[in-house]
Structure 1
Amino acid sequence: MEILPIKRKKIDALLKQCRHLNIFPFHLEQYYPKTEPHPVADILEDLMPDVIDQLHEMSDEKIRTFVESLPAETKYLIDLRTNESTDDTKLERIAFKYIVALIQREYISFKKIVSADLNESEVLKIYPEIAELLDKDGLLNIDQRFQMFDGGIKYKHHFFHYHQFLRRGYVSNPNFDFLGRFIRYYLESNKTNTFRVAIDHTRIMPKEFFAHMFERGGWFGPPFNREKLDDPREIGLFVVERRRPSLFDADGKLDRTEFLWSFRNGIKTFQIEEISNSEYFHDPYYINRFVHSERDTADQNLRHFDGAVKIYLNNHYEDRISSRITDSARSFKKIKLFRLDGEINLDRWIDLIAMFFRGNEMIIEYFDPDLFEETFGNKIRQYQESLG
């Protein structure tokens, strides 16, 4: 994409406000032309004339070349037929699409997310006392000072965003299904359980801009067979592979999901890691969701549950693809996203696992094959038949 010599300070200001206020680049059209005061609308109103002036300096042929350099998803509404000149209305539309493309290109940087530095935290700049409430994994200890919503955490005059890896596909809105259940369980059991969750330190939202958002989606929390949960002999590795061609690849290309039970000193440990397909990477990283739990079999108590993402470097991921969770290659980094400790209800545990791995049908296939067949069997067969 061709880059115009626009003042970087204005672009950075727009990018920062979009991220703080959770405004995705393709939603910028809601803020231009400006209809009411708003930080994003104010910046766009100031920035647009700069871009339009740059376009006015170009010939029609140069403008066509410029438009062709824009990403396909951005330029599709721009009509530049060769027998038409570029009038002011068209230049304004091109200028706006260029700004959208520029913000889209820089809106999410997985390199910055993976290498996040608390010394640069936007949250701690405003509320330095929050540093005392972060554990060694950077998780925020939730207590009565905070009010959790599925779209963010209210603290004093702001909302904290949940970590980027707690968003759908790592790039969209928060995983409302998981977070909603996480919050409800917190409200029901915070006197006996401790709850911690990862927040995004690169952005923070003034409370007056918070809008509670909801999504509708079809996903199911599978029931769980408890009969052998406390049997120390019931351990080992179980692997569920995604059947291909797969209609589930639209939610993320996964190769398989690995489930591992182990037992030591009276504690039964359970781990789940989904293995991304080698084609499904973000910047130089492969990102796999991971869950770890501990159960005291003598007390019949699920005492610990945490979730994370494992980050693998592009040039080493083949080592993970070719191994299993029992002897897998070490990840480049593991980023903890939430943690519960205490006396965790089994039904809520299963529900939270299912929603944390939202978009991964293999979770249901492992926990309840009958439910999987009932829910997805016909859809899978119809999809495969449609492909011939």
Structure 2
Amino acid sequence: MLKFLGVINSDKVNKYNMRFTVGSLESAYSDNWKWGVPSFLNHDHLKPIAWSLVCALYFEPGMVRTANLTYVPENDSESKLIGSQIQKYYIEKTTEFISPYKNELLKRLKPYLSRDYKFCATESAAVIDKGIAKRVFPEIFETDDKHGLVLLSKLNPVAPGIFERDGLLIYASSFFRRSFSRLNTLNTPFLKRFQEISLSRQLNSKIALDPDMVGLADSLHEVFEFQYWWGPLFNEKLDDIPNGVSIHKSNQKDIIFTDIESTEFWWYEQDGRKTFECEEVVTRPSLGISDTSYGCRFVHSMIDQHSNEPFHLDGAIRIYDEEKILKRWDVDISNSGKDTEYIKIWRLDGNISVSEWKELISHYYRDNMLVGEYFGGKDNLKDFKPELLVKENNTAPLSEYVPTHMEKGEGIRIALSYHARTSERNTRRKIRVTNSLELNNSRVRYVEADTLEIIKKLRKRGETLNVPPNTEIIAFEDMLINFPLFLHRGSQAVRDANVTLDVIHELCCSWRDRHDDRAITFNIGIEYDTKEAVFSFAGHIDDLIKWFNFSGSRFPSQESEIGLWCETAAKFLTDNFPESNDKPKLGELLNSSGMLHFERRFLSPKDYELYMDEKNKAVGVEIKMLRSETEVVKEIKNGHLQVAPAFIVTKSECSKCGSEYRFCDCSKYIENDVVEIMQKVWCIGVFWTKRKA
């Protein structure tokens, strides 16, 4: 499967003017980290395309984000796997939500149920059964409207498109839902404005209700999609628009998401009145109706010739079968005729301002940007032009060579990820190897050489920790370090984790005292009651020392305190460092395991040659560069871009103290020994860096 890293939420105010606290982001993650959720094309639950899991909470100065991993199938077998997972998800989530309300719902509706009823849990605990709403509330559905529309004034709205009577809920027609399916949410942006405008202006307003669905009022909850949808700004001059048909077509990308091939706008005169019709033309069946029916949203309106303002506006669905939609694709709206099934679902009569008229039409066509495009709408909140990641002159940016690094003063980054507990319980503290690379045509696991410094310092404190078997120790000769995951288990797990944190603090202080310009990542895992929490950190050692000296850096003593720890950590970052604005970018620092990592970009063996520099008693590197890469050459000459070797730390003995290199305090500073290592061709590659040791 394809795997993508993305962001699904943050603690910033979103375009719905809502903000999630850091604690609520952690709580939502804690509740759902095991299971994941389906991903749908354009929020349409009849178009499942992938499966998403929360990867981590990502903290930077000024913002906390929820990062997710999305798995997209590439073949039929993977699609079936995703499909079965989604089906299981629906069954479990519906059962879980319905359970507390099931008995009361059945008690209230028992006299009206047929044998074919089923449960639904979109906006509330509800029952779907043919004609049940009409049987429960016949007085509401009694209407003299030839289309079966109900006066809005007869209803008690408790949410957009949802109405309460005697503790039960009635819903707007399923034609207000994507693909006209009850698995999808109602068109809240439209229904909210429809109700607000109708009630504030006392217009004669009517709406179609769903005759086949009744819910329990006590179970009503608001559903947030957070798909960005906007009500455009328009001018008011309808009389300037000439009669005729205008057609706006979707690009190929938008068609994939919306199934809308085009939207057609027709102005004409009828009985001396200026009249407007608008219809979208779809390319795929509307599965909420059937797999052979094509539902196209339709609007009709009439304009008062004296005030030049609308006095009538209604919306409908025109349903084409396969034969008729083929004909519809070949003609425009003025020549399409009326030979379709026509279902009116809302109507407004009275003085409607032009701005309200355009707003309602725009929201009715949710997900269809062509309507706003036709009306000349401009979105002041969002620029839809994608960001250019590569310079127009095609010169490779420096990030192509050094993907991530962090400077002093840029603050630290934190990632919190949750994982399943393992059954192995034989050690209180262990190293879990998180890194591997290709070596001699096979993949080897490794830890970086400075991990040995952590082991030695822990042993001096009477603590135990060992490098796992079959693990290489590799020294990268730059000033970046990616420590492995230090996992802590048992009743003393939190205490042990704080000791490991103290050792890393001590090591960072010794580097600072040597004036090292060094940045590191490290990962502390703690097994709590129900899951394993991994706290991952990245930053320059000077900035990390600020964190270590902060009392809130101590790990939560209980699982229930993690949310508060997250709030405290986020506040510390914001209060002590400048807002980072996603620098370095989340996707360059956070990996799919939910941990932070400074990536190294190795040169291809054909792009360099190693040689022994006898004068300097060091290994030299000769780089082969294309003359056209002038920017890169300039960066190399200026010292902003360098190369450094990586080599395996051997088990040879130190010439000074006689101990094994891996646990020797002096060997790494003995020039001759390092040269000897290089001469034996234990160098495994050369990589780009901004910090050469």
Residue type of the partner of 1:178? F
Kept in 1, the 8 Å contact 2:294–2:325? The answer is yes
* Structure 2 partner of 1:303: 311
Q: In the alignment, is residue 249 of structure 1 matched against residue 268 of structure 2?
A: no
Residue type of the partner of 1:290? F
SS in 1 for 2:218: helix
Q: In the alignment, is residue 209 of structure 1 matched against residue 219 of structure 2?
A: yes
Match of 1:29 among 92, 95, 101: 92
Q: C-alpha deviations, 1:333-352, integer Å up to 9, x for none?
A: 01111100001122121111
CA distance in 2, matches of 1:35, 1:130: 26
Q: In the alignment, is residue 124 of structure 1 matched against residue 134 of structure 2?
A: yes
Residue type of the partner of 1:313? D
Q: In the alignment, is residue 258 of structure 1 matched against residue 264 of structure 2?
A: yes
Higher mean displacement: 126-135 or 292-301: 126-135
* Structure 2 partner of 1:358: 366
1:1-388 correspondence runs (5 A): 26-30=89-93, 37-39=100-102, 121-133=131-143, 135-143=145-153, 145-171=155-181, 172-190=184-202, 193-227=203-237, 229-230=238-239, 234-244=242-252, 246-247=253-254, 249-250=256-257, 252-278=258-284, 282-368=290-376, 371=379, 375-378=383-386
Which structure has more relative contact order (CA 8 Å, sep 6+)? It is 1
Shift of 1:36: 5.7
CA distance in 2, matches of 1:202, 1:32: 20
Residue type of the partner of 1:38? Y
CA distance in 2, matches of 1:183, 1:36: 32
SS in 2 for 1:362: helix
Residue type of the partner of 1:212? E
Identity of paired residues, percent?
Answer: 28
CA distance in 2, matches of 1:377, 1:214: 25
Kept in 2, the 8 Å contact 1:290–1:310? The answer is yes
The structure with the greater share of residues assigned to strand is: 2
CA distance in 2, matches of 1:207, 1:235: 48
Unmatched 5+ stretches in structure 1: 1-23, 44-102, 108-116, 383-388
Decide whether aligned partners of structure 1 residues 265 and 142 sit closer, same or farther in structure 2, where only a CA change above 3 A counts. same
SS in 1 for 2:326: helix
SS in 2 for 1:133: coil
Decide whether aligned partners of structure 1 residues 370 and 161 sit closer, same or farther in structure 2, where only a CA change above 3 A counts. closer
Larger radius of gyration: 2
Count, aligned residues? 283
Decide whether aligned partners of structure 1 residues 32 and 126 sit closer, same or farther in structure 2, where only a CA change above 3 A counts. closer
CA distance in 1, matches of 2:352, 2:105: 48
Decide whether aligned partners of structure 1 residues 36 and 137 sit closer, same or farther in structure 2, where only a CA change above 3 A counts. closer
* Structure 1 partner of 2:436: none
Shift of 1:242: 0.9
Shift of 1:315: 2.5
SS in 1 for 2:366: coil
CA distance in 1, matches of 2:348, 2:88: 34
Residue type of the partner of 1:177? P
Kept in 1, the 8 Å contact 2:260–2:281? The answer is yes
CA distance in 2, matches of 1:186, 1:148: 15
CA distance in 2, matches of 1:42, 1:247: 41
Decide whether aligned partners of structure 1 residues 226 and 206 sit closer, same or farther in structure 2, where only a CA change above 3 A counts. same
Decide whether aligned partners of structure 1 residues 223 and 143 sit closer, same or farther in structure 2, where only a CA change above 3 A counts. same
SS in 1 for 2:384: helix
> CA RMSD of the aligned region, Å?
3.6
Shift of 1:331: 4.1
TM-score by length of 1: 0.64
Shift of 1:168: 2.6
Kept in 2, the 8 Å contact 1:319–1:329? The answer is no
CA distance in 1, matches of 2:371, 2:98: 46
The structure with the greater share of residues assigned to helix is: 1
Shift of 1:162: 1.3
Kept in 2, the 8 Å contact 1:307–1:337? The answer is yes
Q: C-alpha deviations, 1:190-243, integer Å up to 9, x for none?
A: 2xx11111111011113223223333221121222223x135x72111000112
Q: C-alpha deviations, 1:286-316, integer Å up to 9, x for none?
A: 0100011111121333110000110001232
SS in 1 for 2:367: coil
